[in-house]
Amino acid sequence: MPDIEIRKFVTAVEEIFHEGGPVTDTPLQRAAIMAVIKNPFAGHYAADITGFMEDLRPLGLDMARRLVDLLGGNPSRVEGYGKGAIIGAGGELEHGALWHAPGGYAMREVLGGAKAIVPSAKKVGGVGARLDVPVTHINASYVRSHFDSMEVGINDAPKTDELAYVLVMTTGARIHNRAGGLASEEIKGEDGLR
Amino acid sequence: MSAEIRKIAVWVEETHIEIGKAISPPTRKAVAVAVIANPFAGKFVEDLSPLMDIGAELGGLLGDRCVVALGITPTEAESYGKAAMVGENGELEHAAAILHPKLGGPLRVAVEKGAALVPSSKKMGGPGQVLDVPLGHKDAAYVRSHFDGIEVRLNDAPRANEILVAVAITDSGRPLPRVGGLTSDQATGKDGLR
């Protein structure tokens, strides 16, 4: 399997103080990191692609650690996460699916064994394509206050033969969350759901 | 009047490969934006000096955010730029009031020097619209390797009564500069031009 050839990293951090309601003392932070890498399978159909998941593991861990650093360096501050992929037009949707294991498990490992499945989105797109990366609570998927998303994209990627793999972390609930449902204080955090 | 900030966002782009050639060390660009309430939305106000003060506040705040995001000392900053996008209930002159009279002074403190004019752009716009922030060498505007730009956009800003204000800073020029002209080594940086 080929080495990972990284063309660029893009990071984004949003810090939200209010959205028309009361101003908070602890702003919600959302952080994203995107790695733009060469797609070794672009332009042809390869039947066996699973080995690339193993190759991606160090990249996933590096990206997850960078995200924690962007949020101040303390993994315990992270309450929500998500992941995604934009596959350049020379590739296929399945190449985005290769990110599920290395991206998801990297974040769960860096966050000390987070329980919930990491929500995800993927699509094929060209340079400048935008992706809305879904976000849910790291230990209990049903926590309604933490359902969120973050839009990512960059003007010059992914090129035809590239993949843009994305990880997102957030530090809490939506800024004025008040739609009820399971609250983060109520979770058991055993099954990853509630 | 100080700025009523709804959110702050910071992006960093790190380019490791350009057209197949390794870039070592990678070129890096940061851009920080503040989404603020437009105190003059929906009405004509002759005296825009409160927006000028907001410009001074944001020049320092956003300049510092970029320097921190790049992990550099202020003197290591090489180029800069600024831009604003005014939501539909404002007017273009509001962007001018924020950007031109007072923003540059505190920004120059953030990058320690900055003899050159800070290149700028401005426009009216709505949520999700792109704002291209021009970049130029901070001490010598004619340094050709550092003419560049960086794109920003936020899906939820600027709302009608908001202004999106951006400051961009780099620690490098373009990845593979080779169109001649004044180089940063040759620049004396006294008159802001050469």
Taking an 8 Å cut-off on Cβ atoms, the answer to whether A7 and B17 are in contact is yes
Could you give the percent of chain A with pLDDT greater than 90? 96
Domain at A159, CATH number: 3.30.1330.110
Residue A193 lies in a domain: no
Q: What is the CB neighbour count within 10 angstroms for residue B194?
A: 15
Is pLDDT above 50 for A1? no
Report residues of chain B scoring pLDDT below 70. Answer: none
Distance between CA B130 and CA B83 in Å, rounded?
11
User: Rounded to a whole number, what is the distance in Å from the CA of A16 to chain B's nearest CA?
Assistant: 4
Residue A58 lies in a domain: yes
What is the DSSP track for A44-58? S--S--THHHHHHHH
Token pair of B95 as six digits: 């962007």
Taking an 8 Å cut-off on Cβ atoms, the answer to whether A14 and B8 are in contact is yes
pTM, entire model: 0.89
Each residue's pLDDT tens digit, A152-176: 999 999 999 999 999 999 999 999 9
CA distances from A57 to A4, A178, B3, B75, B80 (A): 10, 37, 43, 36, 36
Residue A180 lies in a domain: yes
Tally of residues, chain A:
194
Distance between CA A82 and CA A101 in Å, rounded?
13
Cβ of A24 under 8 Å from any chain B Cβ?
no
Tally of residues, chain B:
194
Residue A82 lies in a domain: yes
- The parent domain of residue A35 ranges over 6-186
CA distances from B63 to A34, B5, B56, B84 (A): 23, 16, 11, 14
Each residue's pLDDT tens digit, A180-192: 999 999 999 899 9
User: Rounded to a whole number, what is the distance in Å from the CA of B193 to chain A's nearest CA?
Assistant: 30
Cβ of B9 under 8 Å from any chain A Cβ?
yes
Q: Which of B14, B31, B132, B159 to mutate to test the interface with A (most CBs of A within 10 A)?
A: B14
DSSP secondary structure code for residue B179 in this structure: S
Minimal CA–CA distance to A103: which of A150, A56, A50?
A: A56
Is pLDDT above 80 for A2? no
Element holding B59 (H helix, E strand)? helix B49-70
Which pLDDT does position B42 carry in this prediction?
A: 95
Q: Which residues from A are below 8 Å from B13, CB to CB?
A: 8-10, 154
Taking an 8 Å cut-off on Cβ atoms, the answer to whether A11 and B15 are in contact is no
Q: Which residues from A are below 8 Å from B155, CB to CB?
A: 151
Number of domains making up chain A? 1
Complex ipTM: 0.81
- Cα-based angle A178, A184, A188 (whole degrees, multiple of 5): 145
Residue A191 lies in a domain: no
* Average pLDDT value for residue range A66-83: 98
Residue A115 lies in a domain: yes
Q: With b meaning 16 or more CB within 10 Å and e meaning fewer, what string describes B162-181?
A: bbbbbbbbbbbbbbebeeee
| Beta-sheet pairing, A131-137 with A80-87 | antiparallel
| Number of CB pairs, chain A paired with chain B, less than 8 A apart | 53
* CATH architecture for the domain at B5-170: 2-Layer Sandwich (3.30)
Q: Where are the domains of chain B?
A: 5-170
Identify whether the C-beta of residue A5 lies closer than 8 Å to the C-beta of residue A28.
Answer: no
Residue A92 lies in a domain: yes
Residue A45 lies in a domain: yes
Question: Residue type at A12?
Answer: A
Q: How confident is the model at residue A23 (pLDDT cuts 50, 70, 90)?
A: very high
